[in-house]
Structure 1
Amino acid sequence: MPGVVLGWDMGAALAMAEALRISPRAAVEFLPVIEAVMVRKLNERMAGQDD
């Protein structure tokens, strides 16, 4: 859908976590929560700019 953020590329996010030496268990636990907030906030911000 144009103009809407649906989510992150989790493969890339997990690869970045690995490169940063973040525990894979922690990344799998926290990334979905962080992603959900980020997606919601970005979509709210983009919707507000269209007004």
Structure 2
Amino acid sequence: MLRLQGQIRFGGIGTVTGIDLVAALQLAENLNYDKRAISHLLPMAEAGLITALNKDRTEQNDE
């Protein structure tokens, strides 16, 4: 996931809306990763990332 840091999409108020999956799959192809496996894993990783980053953001705003 660290290689995808620049591919995170943000909404208008700074919330994380997802990963640029096209760019992520292109990166996987460039790195010779199994695109089929990556295409199954990325949506789950994206969901976890969105939940965690937005939770952190919400908690910071509550302080």
TM-score normalised according to structure 2 size:
0.74
Aligned-residue identity in percent: 39
Cα deviation 1:23-49 (Å, max 9, x = unaligned): 110111100011100110000001111
Q: How does 1:1-51 map to 2 (within 5 A)?
A: 1-51=12-62
5+ residue gaps in structure 2? Answer: 1-11
Could you say which structure has the greater relative contact order, defined with CA pairs below 8 angstroms and 6 or more residues apart? 1
5+ residue gaps in structure 1? Answer: none
Paired residue secondary structure (2:19): coil
Distance 1:27 1:10 in 2: 10
The runs of at least 4 consecutive aligned structure 1 residues that moved more than 2 Å come to none
After TM superposition, give the deviation of residue 2 of structure 1 in Å.
1.0
Distance 2:32 2:56 in 1: 32
TM-score normalised according to structure 1 size:
0.89
Distance 1:35 1:10 in 2: 9
